[in-house]
């Protein structure tokens, strides 16, 4: 069955239209509806302040790992991966110490979800980057320094 690019695009658009009409697409995600959401978290300036808002202690742990470049040539797109093997992890996130907003990503996990993600973040300048996992009433973390040669947060 040979189809032209135009036919494939039309079929794809029709499929999306049918799925949307049938109510099968998810409703718009609202961060404020997430369990444990606290807008103060994204106003925090440090890992310690985030732990204080959550009412837990921050502890360095081998159960959390971070992957990222040693040097990022462009702070606007820095690839970072976070993984946790801590039992009962309910959230994982990324904290950048020297950013205007320290908490750059926070993901709440459902039961059975694998706490392993990769994303791209913005960094204002060279900084320690923390991979964090909320598990067992503690904020577990691992850190890595990432050097930025061209700023991404307004630099």
Instruction: Inform me whether the pLDDT recorded for 79 exceeds 90.
Output: yes
Least confident of 19-23, 111-115, 126-130: 19-23
Torsion of CA 83, 86, 88, 94, to 10 degrees: -40
- From the options 3.40.50.300, 2.60.40.2470, 2.40.128.50, 1.25.40.10, give the CATH code of 29-148: 2.60.40.2470
- Identify the band that residue 134 occupies on the pLDDT scale cut at 50, 70 and 90: very high
Interval 14-73: pLDDT, tens: 777 666 665 555 555 445 555 556 788 888 999 999 999 888 999 999 999 999 999 998
Which H or E element spans position 52? helix 47-54
26 is written with which tokens? 């998810």
Question: Domains of the chain: which residue ranges?
Answer: 29-148
Least confident of 3-7, 19-23, 89-93: 19-23
Rounded CA-CA distance 141/103 in Å is 13
DSSP 42: G
| CB crowding 94-113: b at 16 or more within 10 Å, else e | bbbbebeebbbbbeebeeee
Rounded CA-CA distance 25/21 in Å is 9
**What pLDDT shows up at residue 155?**
47
Which H or E element spans position 10? helix 5-21
136 is written with which tokens? 């067992």
Q: Greater confidence, 81 or 28?
A: 81
């Amino acid at each position: 069955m040979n189809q032209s690019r135009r036919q494939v695009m039309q079929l794809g658009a029709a499929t999306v239209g049918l799925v949307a009409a049938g109510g099968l697409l998810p409703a718009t995600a609202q961060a404020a509806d997430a369990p444990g959401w606290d807008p103060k978290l994204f106003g925090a300036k440090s890992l310690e302040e985030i732990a204080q808002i959550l009412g837990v202690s921050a502890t360095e742990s081998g159960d959390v790992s971070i992957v990222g470049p040693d040097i990022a040539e462009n702070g606007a797109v820095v690839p970072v991966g976070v993984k946790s093997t801590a039992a009962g992890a309910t959230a994982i996130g990324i904290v950048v110490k020297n950013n205007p907003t320290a908490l750059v990503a926070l993901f709440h996990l459902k039961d059975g979800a694998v706490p392993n993600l990769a994303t791209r973040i913005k960094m204002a300048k060279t900084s320690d980057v923390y991979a964090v996992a909320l598990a067992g009433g503690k904020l577990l973390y691992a850190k890595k320094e990432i050097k930025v040669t061209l700023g991404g947060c307004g630099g």
